[in-house]
Amino acid sequence: MKKFAAFIGISLLVLFAFAQNAPTVEETIAALEGGITNIPLDAAIANIEGWEEQLSGSEDVAVQSIADQLGQLREALSAETIDGAEVGALLTSLGAETAAVGQDAGEDQLVELGNLLSEAGAMLTGDDMGAMTGGEMGVMTGGDMGVMTGGDMDDSEDDSDSQ
């Protein structure tokens, strides 16, 4: 199993390295380290499309699953109204799967990429929404944080005034 996992990881890295005009693992890691809220939406979609193109031809089940999740993420980010909870869940799942493939293959860069994707997803689905304010992802938020979380940001307010 370890040899097969190593083959998957090496195959992913080879696919990444030989694609023309495609994002690299290093570039994607650098972008995520800069903060998901600092990645312009069009750049994020272009990066995702590049990865989809690189991975979609694989016959490996794990790689194809990652490509499918990338497609779902691209679609979610291309929607007229972006659901932050959905995007966060997709990032978390994609990150876990990427990290698992990297771990099995002994590829530290894939593990790091997976962890960063999972952290970004947790930020979007968790309580760490403060970083999303300030218009950094105005396209995603549309100025309405309820769209990002899939809920009402006023849930934490004290309703004692109305009594």
Amino acid at position 43, single letter: A
The average confidence (pLDDT) of the chain is 74
The pLDDT value recorded for residue 21 is 60
Query: How confident is the model over 109-122, as pLDDT tens digits?
Result: 999 999 999 999 99
Counted residue by residue, the chain has a size of: 163
Query: Where residue 17 falls among pLDDT bands split at 50, 70, 90?
Result: very low
Q: Rounded mean pLDDT of 88-108?
A: 94
Contact residues for 88 (Cβ-Cβ < 8 A; gap 6+): 120, 121, 122, 123, 124, 125, 126
The C-alpha atoms of residue 120 and residue 123 are separated, in whole angstroms, by 5
Which range in 53-62, 73-82, 134-143, 151-160 is most confidently predicted, on average pLDDT? Answer: 73-82
139 or 25: whose pLDDT is higher? 25
> If residue 23 lies in a helix (H) or strand (E), which one and from where to where?
none
Query: Where residue 134 falls among pLDDT bands split at 50, 70, 90?
Result: very low
Residue 24 is classified by DSSP as -
Which of 87, 110, 81 is CA-nearest to residue 98? 110
Query: How confident is the model over 78-88, as pLDDT tens digits?
Result: 999 999 999 99
Residue 156 confidence (pLDDT) above 50: no
The pLDDT value recorded for residue 23 is 87
Amino acid at position 18, single letter: F
Prediction pTM value: 0.66
CB 75 within 8 A of CB 64: no
